A and B are shown apart, each in its own frame.
Chain A
Amino acid sequence: EIVLTQSPGTLSLSPGERATLSCRASQSVSSSYLAWYQQKPGQAPRLLIYGASSRATGIPDRFSGSGSGTDFTLTISRLEPEDFAVYYCQHYGSSLTWTFGQGTKVESK
């Protein structure tokens, strides 16, 4: 089973700053199978990025995804107040199973 490790655990930044979140897989994975979600307190997760780099419907272009192999990155170019949240990466594995990373919290400094 592939394990996803996200870093850092918490990212303290100010509005307007750039956020770079990492997701590392325990073995090489297809970029087609890597997604990112945002979750705010008391809300359901929201799909941001699928296929490692494709933005989901309605997602602002300040969110971008990149990476391949074992290393993937979610970048928020300029943090808006509504972007402070927890972010999860997700991988679709074999035999129709999915795993999530443990999450990165982006908090306001």
Chain B
Amino acid sequence: EVQLVESGGGLVQPGGSLRLSCVASRFTFSNYEMNWVRQAPGKGLEWVSYITSSGSDMYYADSVRGRFTISRDNAKNSLYLEMNSLRAEDTALYYCARGCGGDCYGLSFDYWGQGTLVTVSS
């Protein structure tokens, strides 16, 4: 079964930085597009960022563009999210999610990790 394990969350002050990681296993990581999705406490889902399978192209939600950077290391089966200039409204559980393969063409997310919690507070 596909596995995605996030780490790197924690408590950070407003204006601070954090780097999240997601380690993938039991599938060929380099063949799949990947995403970060977040969920504020008690709220709904918000897509954050996307990266192509090769890592050549990245896209961001307006709410994080210019502050967050997505990247990947296919040799290490790892996805990252570098978060800078953090704000209270970035407080959320951050999930990594795989873009679906086959006839889904990456348009939906077929596997998700369990998430890592980021809390931005002074």
Contact = CB atoms under 8 A, between A and B. Distances in A.
Chain A contact residues (Cβ within 8 angstroms of B): what range? Answer: 20 to 34
B46 interface: yes
B112 interface: yes
A102 B57 CA distance: 28
A46 B114 CA distance: 11
B100 interface: yes
Contact of B104 (A45, A50, A95, A96): A50
A97 B47 contact: yes
Contact of A103 (B44, B107, B109, B110): B44
Interface of A: 32-33, 35, 37, 39, 43-47, 50-51, 54, 56-57, 88, 90, 92, 95-103
Interface of B: 35, 37, 44-47, 50, 57, 59, 61, 95, 97, 100, 103-104, 107-110, 112-115
